[in-house]
């Protein structure tokens, strides 16, 4: 859902278009949105009819505290960006400084100003993992992120560019509470099959297992499901194990060698662990089937190409790539967004 906030018109001083992407995920089972985790990008180029020639500022999206991000692998291809524009991720940099780094790019001479900027905040994802999405600490964290967005907007207004800047705020996932002892322990499957720790690549909301090559994947899957359906394993009926090629097609989760051959899907809010080590009873997680409403996030677009106050129907985040390349007027790489999406979302170019 996109909500383009109303704002007071100011004079356009710069002929520039800028795109800022703040990734803000929301978690809520109710109709209203709850900011969750955020990361952001800003982008800008001087004329719509001239392809941008500068790519910049990237504070990358991996948080060492986030177990789901630990196994991210580098994106294929090269990232050519001058050192002073492309900071490596450093979770210790205060959020204020991150915002100010972006704002300072606007004070550079026009030909040194980056064309595309990204800002990333690891909150409230960070708190969400520890206390679940419904805790007052999350409200506090959301307030703080809101303050950062305010700082950014104020800084842009001070420079009289806010109206000409394109800003996209988007989250990469939602969050759901995992309270009430919703655990499934692989240890409990021992009577059907032993799952050595070395086979297990991930636990939590997504189970992934890579058995040694001399073991039959189908047999492991069958034995596990037999145990899970026996009625003798705690919460066993909440976990279903698949050969990755048998997963529902809509998940698009079989095409890569990096995906282990066995994947387990759990019901919303449940978690898989190797064994009972006395886990906290109330925490939060994401990574569940994206069909769950709690895994959804928000999208907010601001700028010359977004109609004010317009709401659009729900869409998948894979569409955002083409939206950005359309705004920038560049040819993107092949991707899984639909080519017509940007047209349905954006206003036509406004030639000054």
Ligand X SMILES: *[C@@H]1O[C@H](CO)[C@@H](O)[C@H](O)[C@H]1NC(C)=O
Residue ranges that bind ligand X, judged by CB under 6 A: 53, 90, 92-93, 252, 334-336
What does the longest C-alpha to C-alpha distance in the chain come to? 72
Distance CA 27, CA 177 (A): 10
Distance CA 7, CA 167 (A): 13
Residues making contact with Zn ion (CB under 5 A): 66, 125
Binding-site partner at residue 336 among ligand X, Zn ion, none, CB < 5 to 8 Å by type: ligand X
The answer to whether the beta carbons of residues 44 and 113 sit under 8 Å apart is yes
Binding-site partner at residue 53 among ligand X, Zn ion, none, CB < 5 to 8 Å by type: ligand X
By beta-carbon distance, which residue lies closest to ligand X? 334
Closer by beta carbon to ligand X, 64 or else 336:
336
- Give me the least distance between CB of 16 and Zn ion, in Å please: 34
Closer by beta carbon to Zn ion, 72 or else 79:
72
Closer by beta carbon to ligand X, 53 or else 350:
53
Binding-site partner at residue 125 among ligand X, Zn ion, none, CB < 5 to 8 Å by type: Zn ion
Binding-site partner at residue 347 among Zn ion, ligand X, none, CB < 5 to 8 Å by type: none
Closer by beta carbon to ligand X, 279 or else 290:
290
- Element (H or E) spanning 265, and its range? strand 262-266
- Element (H or E) spanning 19, and its range? strand 17-26
Closer by beta carbon to Zn ion, 105 or else 270:
270
DSSP line for 135-171:
SHHHHHHHHHHHHHHHHHHHHHHHTT-GGGEEEEEE-
- Give me the least distance between CB of 92 and ligand X, in Å please: 4
Binding-site partner at residue 92 among Zn ion, ligand X, none, CB < 5 to 8 Å by type: ligand X
Cα-to-chain-centroid distance, residue 233: 33
- Give me the least distance between CB of 333 and ligand X, in Å please: 8
The answer to whether the beta carbons of residues 174 and 33 sit under 8 Å apart is no
- Give me the least distance between CB of 100 and ligand X, in Å please: 12
Burial class of residue 305 (count of CB atoms within 10 Å of its CB; 0-12, 13-18, 19+) = buried
Binding-site partner at residue 17 among Zn ion, ligand X, none, CB < 5 to 8 Å by type: none
Closer by beta carbon to ligand X, 17 or else 294:
17
- Give me the least distance between CB of 148 and ligand X, in Å please: 16
- Residue recorded with tokens 């089972």: 29
- Give me the least distance between CB of 66 and Zn ion, in Å please: 4
**Half-sphere exposure in the Cβ direction for 130 (13 Å, CA):** 9
């Amino acid at each position: 859902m996109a909500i383009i906030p109303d704002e007071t018109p100011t004079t356009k001083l710069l002929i520039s278009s800028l795109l800022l992407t703040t990734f803000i995920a929301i978690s809520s089972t109710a109709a209203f949105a709850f900011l969750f985790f955020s990361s952001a990008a800003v982008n800008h180029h001087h004329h719509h009819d001239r392809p941008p020639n500068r790519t910049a500022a990237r504070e990358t999206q991996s948080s060492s505290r986030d177990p789901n991000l630990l196994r991210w692998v580098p994106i294929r291809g090269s990232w050519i960006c001058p050192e002073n524009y492309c900071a490596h991720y450093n979770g210790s940099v205060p959020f204020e400084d991150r915002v100010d780094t972006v704002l300072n790019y606007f004070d550079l001479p026009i030909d040194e100003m980056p064309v595309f900027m990204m800002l990333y905040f690891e909150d409230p994802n960070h708190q969400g993992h520890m206390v679940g999405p419904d805790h007052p600490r999350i409200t506090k964290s959301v307030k703080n992120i809101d303050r950062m967005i305010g700082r950014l907007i104020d800084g842009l207004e001070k420079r009289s560019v806010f109206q000409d800047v394109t800003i996209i705020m988007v989250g990469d996932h939602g969050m759901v509470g995992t309270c009430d002892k919703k655990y499934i322990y692989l240890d409990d499957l021992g009577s059907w099959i032993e799952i050595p720790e070395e086979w297990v690549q991930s636990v939590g909301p997504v189970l992934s297992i890579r058995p040694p090559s001399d073991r039959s994947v189908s047999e492991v899957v069958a034995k596990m499901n037999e145990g899970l359906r026996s009625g003798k394993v705690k919460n066993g009926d909440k976990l279903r194990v698949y050969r990755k090629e048998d997963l529902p097609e809509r998940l698009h989760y079989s095409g890569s060698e990096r995906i282990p051959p066995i994947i387990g899907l759990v019901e919303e809010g449940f978690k898989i662990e190797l064994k009972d080590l006395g886990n906290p009873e109330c925490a939060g997680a994401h990574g569940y089937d994206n069909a769950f409403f709690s895994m959804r996030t928000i999208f907010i677009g601001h700028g010359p190409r977004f109609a004010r106050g317009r709401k659009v129907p729900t869409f998948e985040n894979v569409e955002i790539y083409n939206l950005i390349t359309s705004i920038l007027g560049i040819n993107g790489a092949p991707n899984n967004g639909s080519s017509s999406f940007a047209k349905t979302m954006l206003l036509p170019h406004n030639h000054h």
